[in-house]
Structure formats: structure tokens, C-alpha cells
């Protein structure tokens, strides 16, 4: 992976329809996707992921803004002039062609020679382990096999960028896990920039080098999975990825890159980064697994009433109500020696691990 930018999206907006029927699918989106990276667009249904892919592929044109590929503007180019290929969500394999003909289609259209096409198709068939089915019609192979043909067909012309629109969503759980690994392998072997769309946060976290979390046509946060999980910038990201406790805190003091806060319990706590606040109130997020329970009132940051204890194999979840009425979840890993130490109905102190408090921008 190098640091040079592959796809640069500059202030792109996309509005469908006119006047009263206008739908803003994308709202001033800017992104830099690096060469050779596995980049994921993550967001709930209808947030504009497919629209963004279609703009990069050239099936739609931006209402505002422009898209560059390796420094050259491509917004005005038709899809067949962009070195970008798509793995469609529905696969969109040509039903009147065999597996091999499907894979060779792009090469043939690029005007490659017969020998080159044949050898590349063979290579691609081997890459996706479909050599035996080269002459099958595409309606005579399974969903997982169709998915691999779609992948091979999009990879065969050696695009600079591969766009994948929820390519795994039609597969069952086991096949999906297998294909996730296979996709990562293919991306490593080919070095092609992958832009992957999913609404599955786990898939996004495990597969991506970096990801962009989208909501309602906007990109809310871009970063490595670890960064996004540990330091969600806004409430939506914190909520969409993993489980989170939300609290209101009071601003005490801002130092260069630290902020001192006062929790609802009156206890002080410090957080990374500088908070901005008009009325002295700050919204914070705390991951349940970065908290523990304690009987030591001095060590506890918060105190609450345990409503419910849920055992889930590796973890135990404690559902707690704070004095102000807010609910709070503490998650602890189960170890052999820890018995059922805490029960519903008890009052417990909550310890927040250092660095676990995340200041939200909204």
C-alpha cells in the first residue's frame, strides 16, 4: 500500500429528481481513497453508498463536485472509458454466455487479442478456483460460484479500482466468512484498490484498511477500523459501530489535548482531545467493555442500580440505571474464578478505564 491517492472525491453531491420530489442522496462528500487500499463504505440502508459507487463507476453524474482518478478528473467520462470495474450486488452475469465468456467479455471489449484473452481468463478461473465450470452457463452454478465469477469478470481487465456493492449479502453465513477471507487474499495478490460497500459493521471492521461511516448522504468519519471503534467522533458512529453508553458531562478544563470533565455523579474524569462546548455541557461515549464494577466507592466514577444481569458465554452484561435515570451497560469478560459476584437489585460502583471516555462532536 502506498500513500498516493487513487480515487479523490471532491465535494460531491447527488440530487435525484426535481423540486418537491428532489432526493439528496449524497451531500457534499469528500474522500481520498489511497492506492491499493481496502476501503469500505459503511452505513445504514439508504445512506447513499450505492449512489457513491455508481458515481465512481460512471453510471451517474454528480450534481455538484468532481471525482478524480490518479489526479485526473473522470467525472465526465462514460463508464466504458473508466479503468474501474464493478462487482454488482446482483452479480449481473450475462445469462447468454458461459462462465468463461463472461470473464472474457471485458478483455474482448478492450480489444485484447484472442490468445491474451484466453490466457487471462484461464488465470482468473484459477484465481477464483472455477476451472472446472468454465463452460457452464451462469444460471447453472450456485450463488457462491456466481459471486466468484462476478469477481473474476471484474478483475480480468485489471482495473485500477474495483468497486464491490455488498457482494456478500446474498450468501449464507459460512460462505460469507469464507468469501471475506478470499476477497482479502485477492486484494493482497492483485494490489488493486478495493472500494467495498456493506451495511454490516463487523464485516467492515474485519476487512477494511480504512472505512468511511456514512449517514443520510454524508460521510461522518473516516479512519482505520481501530480508530473508528475506539474514537467515534459523533453519536451516530458510536452508536452504529459496537455498543456504547452515552452520558452528558460538564466541562471543567481544557488543556492542549486533554479535557477535564465532571461526570453526572460529580466525579472528575479526563478525556483525549479538546472539547468544544457553548453551554459547558459535553456529550461523551464510553464502551461497555472499558468499564468494570467495583464496591470501592472512592474508585468508582459512577454509581447505579443493577436491573439485569445477562450472561452470554464469554461475557456478562450488567444493565444499570444511574441516579439521573440514564441507562448504562457494563460488560466484563468471564473468567474461570469469577462467580456470579453481582446480582440484579444490588447497587454497584462503575470504574471507567483510563482513556475510555470519548468526547462526541454532537
Ligand X SMILES: Nc1ncnc2c1ncn2[C@@H]1O[C@H](COP(=O)(O)OP(=O)(O)OP(=O)(O)O)[C@@H](O)[C@H]1O
What's the length of the chain?
A: 362
# residues near ligand X by CB under 6 A:
13
∠ at Cα 270 (344, 228), nearest 5°? 80
Q: Which does 322 bind (CB under 5 to 8 A by kind): another protein, Mg ion, ligand X, none?
A: none
Q: Which of 50, 147, 245, 292 binds ligand X (CB under 6 A)?
A: 50
# residues near Mg ion by CB under 5 A:
1
Which whole-number Å values give the CA distances from 101 to 157, 160, 254, 301, in the listed order? 13, 22, 64, 65
Range list of H helices, the chain: 49-57, 99-109, 114-127, 143-155, 173-190, 201-207, 225-230, 235-240
For another protein, the closer CB: 81 or 126:
81
Least spacing, CB of residue 106 vs another protein, in Å: 4
Considering only residues 11 to 50 of the shown chain, the ones binding Mg ion according to CB under 5 A are 50
Backbone angles phi, psi at 221, to 5 degrees: -160, 140
Q: Which does 48 bind (CB under 5 to 8 A by kind): ligand X, Mg ion, another protein, none?
A: ligand X
Q: Are 35 and 208 in contact (CB under 8 A)?
A: no
For Mg ion, the closer CB: 50 or 316:
50
**CA atoms of 33 and 3, how far apart (whole Å):** 9
* Interface pattern 182-211 for ligand X (x via CB under 6 A): -----------------x------------
Backbone angles phi, psi at 323, to 5 degrees: -55, -35
For another protein, the closer CB: 89 or 277:
89
User: Which residues of the shown chain bind another protein in the complex (CB under 8 A)?
Assistant: 57-59, 78-81, 84-86, 88, 90, 92-96, 98, 105-106, 109-110, 137, 153-154, 157
For ligand X, the closer CB: 26 or 100:
26
* Interface pattern 46-85 for Mg ion (x via CB under 5 A): ----x-----------------------------------
| CA dihedral angle for residue 223, residue 199, residue 232, residue 206, rounded to 10 degrees | -60
The residues binding Mg ion (CB under 5 A) are 50
Amino acid at each position: 500500500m502506498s500513500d498516493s491517492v487513487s480515487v479523490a472525491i471532491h465535494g460531491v453531491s447527488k440530487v435525484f429528481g426535481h423540486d418537491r420530489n428532489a432526493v439528496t442522496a449524497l451531500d457534499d462528500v469528500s474522500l481520498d481513497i489511497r492506492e491499493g487500499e481496502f476501503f469500505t463504505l459503511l452505513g445504514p440502508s439508504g445512506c447513499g453508498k450505492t449512489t457513491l459507487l455508481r458515481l465512481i463507476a460512471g453510471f451517474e453524474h454528480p450534481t455538484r463536485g468532481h471525482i478524480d482518478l490518479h489526479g485526473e478528473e473522470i467525472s465526465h467520462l462514460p463508464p466504458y472509458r473508466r479503468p474501474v470495474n464493478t462487482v454488482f450486488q446482483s452479480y449481473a452475469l450475462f445469462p447468454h454466455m458461459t462462465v468463461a465468456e463472461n470473464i472474457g467479455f471485458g478483455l474482448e471489449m478492450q480489444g485484447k487479442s484472442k490468445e491474451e484473452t484466453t490466457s487471462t481468463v484461464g488465470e482468473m478461473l484459477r484465481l477464483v478456483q472455477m476451472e472446472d465450470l468454465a463452460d457452464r452457463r451462469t444460471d447453472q452454478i450456485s450463488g457462491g460460484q456466481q459471486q466468484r465469477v462476478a469477481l473474476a469478470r471484474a478483475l480480468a481487465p485489471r482495473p485500477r479500482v474495483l468497486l464491490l456493492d455488498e457482494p456478500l449479502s446474498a450468501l449464507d453465513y459460512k460462505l460469507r466468512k469464507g468469501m471475506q477471507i478470499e476477497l482479502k487474499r485477492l486484494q493482497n495478490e492483485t494490489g488493486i484498490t478495493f472500494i467495498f460497500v456493506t451495511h454490516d459493521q463487523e464485516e467492515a471492521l474485519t476487512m477494511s484498511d480504512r472505512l468511511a461511516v456514512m449517514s443520510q448522504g454524508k460521510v461522518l468519519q473516516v479512519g482505520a477500523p481501530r480508530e473508528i471503534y475506539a474514537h467515534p467522533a459523533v453519536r451516530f458512529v458510536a452508536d452504529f459501530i459496537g455498543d456504547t453508553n452515552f452520558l452528558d458531562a460538564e466541562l471543567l478544563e481544557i488543556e492542549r489535548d486533554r479535557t477535564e470533565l465532571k461526570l453526572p455523579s460529580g466525579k472528575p474524569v479526563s478525556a483525549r482531545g479538546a472539547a468544544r462546548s457553548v453551554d459547558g455541557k459535553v456529550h461523551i461515549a464510553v464502551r461497555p467493555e472499558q468499564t468494570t464494577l467495583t464496591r470501592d466507592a472512592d474508585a468508582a466514577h459512577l454509581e447505579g442500580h443493577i436491573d439485569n444481569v445477562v450472561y452470554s458465554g464469554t461475557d456478562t452484561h450488567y444493565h444499570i440505571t444511574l441516579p439521573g435515570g440514564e441507562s448504562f451497560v457494563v460488560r466484563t469478560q468471564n473468567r474461570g474464578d469469577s462467580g456470579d459476584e453481582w446480582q440484579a437489585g444490588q447497587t454497584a460502583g462503575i470504574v471507567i478505564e483510563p482513556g475510555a471516555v470519548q468526547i462526541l462532536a454532537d
